[in-house]
Chains A and B, each alone.
Chain A
């Protein structure tokens, strides 16, 4: 075909066309190049915890820059295992520790260098809230927070001088609902699979967390009582997945979601009226002026906790900087900032000192707001007189039924979860 009688005109036209197209596209494709700062801590974590305001305030207070590396929950633990030199500070969930600690990629954090270490809430150290033990099914932080030594690859059974992660933020998750579309009270996890909400329910598609929500539902439906939801046997995994598959085949789920923004969008658009949800997602739906409730349920909450860890190879100035950041983080300002978003901070008393009494009463004591409650960036979250979902800290954290977990049968569970997705 190339030897046609008049190839020049068509060929030239073709080439100039391709060139022109490429030229127009190329103008938009230059990547932004950032200059690297030598005194910068690379902070690996999920985007939800990486607030610009926190990095700016820390820089203003200490002169050390924070460079956020934002990836999703699974990717954080993957990087901790496969490329431990790609970050100076890791913000990860406690359940990931079972994967990360045996690699020896994390250094035990010396509590003697952490000023407020003894003030860290008892939920982490002994698993108690206000003197009462809470549910410890799954990877409860108290099981994995202490290491036997600075370079240890095993967890200690009783408190030691070295912590695997210094807790930063934690919360207790439940179902999010659209009260305006459901129009009746929701009290139990079993409502997620209630045929009444056929085609209007969603569950999150992160296997290790989704299976826990499913287990809460299975128990609430009275199908089975797990000895430990956080560490199921193969038969228990089969039962849980079978329940999910039956519901899926009956058309129960409108969608599954994996990304925080997806869950916000599903709820805000009304595609879904009941689903697994995270607290800041509920807040995000509400700031759009759409009613959404993070519904407390009688079976309790599925809790999670994240914390800062240090890579084993960190040393010198960067190590000192990382300790400084952790100390700064526990010192109150960041804690107050997180509390105002509906999370909970690890050291409560320093955070309280940086919050207004009316804010503390609303967020922590479950009392009606005496004036409008605003988010850290000024959006209206709750009008005066309203009460926080789930009540006070003690009520909410005391209601923990299980923790996000990594099971021994994780490989099998992921395979079965893939079957659920494919069913």
Chain B
């Protein structure tokens, strides 16, 4: 009874109030506004309240024929492909690194140092980072010089930079961290005696990994996946600079529209993007009950 009173009494509401207010002012209200604006008529220099579905019609214009997909479908196809590739690679890398950090590195201070090393990609700005990829991957870059020097290829390889490859590389480089941290967190909570028990029962290392560690890290994997999927779905800067601005992304379309003050159109696109991302997250959270597991 006491616990119940604590959970529902006025004190609990008061405690929740500050964060609730922040949440309302800086998340719910702006979101409601975005949805509202997406139904307003498009105008270059003024926002005139109204109601029209014209913006959504423009977003999906020509999307009925699948033979020659419209801009929106093609853009989503490209964005979803990057999301899937980045997710798969960062999951593999993140899981492996987390496994190494959690089970093979014994000292906490070394773990901390290695963790900070993993955050190095965040230490520079996007433009600087892009500029530093060019000397590495460019036509006259280090990798190409190496390949040509070793006689592996005769001509410099062009697809290393400003290509889908370089976009995925940069995304993985940036966002593996978001996969790594929650998986590591889950792994640290695995009871080590379970591993001993598996060992005692004669499980091989792979069997332990697959039947004990992976299922128990599931929460971390799902949380990491949510991070990576939401970030990559909305990313336009990395796709822009690493794709030589030649690869479309949903975020880029929205950014171009806002920079030309086409807020209602951009809002409509944002609502569609939000719906798609929410569907993906809903599917992911069906795999694990986050509330219970945390």
Contact = CB atoms under 8 A, between A and B. Distances in A.
Nearest to B43: A411
A415 B61 CA distance: 11
A81 interface: yes
B52 to A, nearest CB: 14
Interface residues of B, number: 56
Nearest to A256: B245
A63 interface: no
Contact of B134 (A21, A82, A205, A271): A271
Contacts of B257: 414
Interface in B137-176: 138-141, 158, 161-162
Interface of B: 42, 44-46, 58, 71, 74-75, 78, 108-109, 111-112, 115-116, 119, 123, 127, 130-131, 134-135, 138-141, 158, 161-162, 185, 188-194, 216, 240-241, 244-248, 252-253, 256-262, 265, 293
Contacts of B262: 411, 414
Given A199-B158, A410-B44, A418-B256, A11 B189 contact: yes
Interface stretch (A70-78, A131-139, A189-197, A345-353): A70-78
A414 B261 contact: no
Interface string A389-423: 00000000000000000000011001101110110
A5 B193 CA distance: 8
B259 A10 contact: no
A16 interface: yes
B259 A17 contact: no
Interface stretch (A51-59, A212-220, A247-255): A247-255
**Majority secondary structure of chain A interface residues (helix, strand, loop or mixed):** helix
Given A25-B119, A99-B261, A207 B256 contact: yes
B248 to A, nearest CB: 3
A253 B189 contact: no
Given A99-B44, A411-B262, A418 B245 contact: no
Contacts of B112: 17, 20-21, 24
Contacts, number: 146
Interface in A240-270: 248, 253-259, 261-262, 265, 269-270
Q: Which interface class (under 10, 10 to 19, 20 to 34, 35 or more) fits A?
A: 35 or more
Contacts of A13: 108, 111, 188
Contacts of A269: 134-135, 138-141
Contact of A262 (B45, B58, B188, B241): B241
Contacts of A255: 162, 244-246
The 4 closest A-B pairs by CB, nearest first: A4-B191, A255-B244, A422-B248, A256-B245
A10 B189 contact: yes
A293 interface: no
B253 to A, nearest CB: 5
Contacts of B188: 10-11, 13-14, 17
A159 interface: no
A13 B46 CA distance: 55
